[in-house]
A = this chain, B = another copy of it.
């Protein structure tokens, strides 16, 4: 029997997702920009997917833009704001995913200033740290909702309130949340919380690889990072990845259908795994017992190299990772 425990790296697409992708490849294969029926049918798949993704966040469909994945969503949020040059300061943490950290480091090598906030031993930052770091010219605060390595949740609602107060005082500061590891695992309500930009990825939620989305609050402008046609309101041009988008929509519908049930099941599995890992000598569990998403367990096995353990477990049909992308 195979036990696949590498879902924070990527998930197996759900059969319903596969069906949606296949349909877009074999039946609704038109170009959404074409004016004939085959084009309109492809366009309808995109409309349906946008609606499904929007529902999972409680936002309007027109505020969801499709991208080629979480990495592009993060880059579009960061570089798209930097390109408008309304300030020169960014705030982030030391534990963001490389798709947030690297674009910010590149900006820091140019005329930008980036503050990287340190985290505690659980990988967590406090909203008060963000408050102290804000400057009058802070363009963006970027903090992930759930850490990909530890599962730790950040205090997104509190940070959002801090950013909103700062903006009310006259600063251009927006708040971006990389929710790639959080989507489908914890409730996300960017509009209620006052989050301005939120990145999602398909392949972490049993959707296809190569597709993601960016929620953009109405009124927030981004400089497009690709030039071309008017697809995705001109912010993300290029012929739409209709099969991928249809698959992402199917995954979103599945998430919405059994969100609480799945979270409870993941929580129960995590408790069981934690208990059994704790029975092993010389082990430390790094994922905090409270305030973590239900789907990640990070543990250090002191007496064995990670890669050795990974290959040994694979021989037993268990698939794990030494890190999470």
Contacts and interface: CB of A to CB of B under 8 A. Distances in A.
A303 interface: no
Contacts of A36: 6, 310-311, 314, 319-321
A176 B203 CA distance: 33
A318 B239 CA distance: 22
Interface residues of A, number: 69
How many identical chains are in the complex? 2
A182 interface: no
Q: Which of A9, A25, A70 has the most CB of B within 10 A?
A: A25
Nearest to A14: B25
Nearest to A247: B25
Contacts of A22: 18, 21-22
A298 interface: no
Contacts of A319: 30, 34, 36-38
Q: Which of A9, A26, A78 has the most CB of B within 10 A?
A: A9
Contacts of A311: 35-36
Contacts of A31: 6, 9-10, 203, 321, 325
Interface stretch (A56-64, A94-102, A117-125, A166-174): A94-102
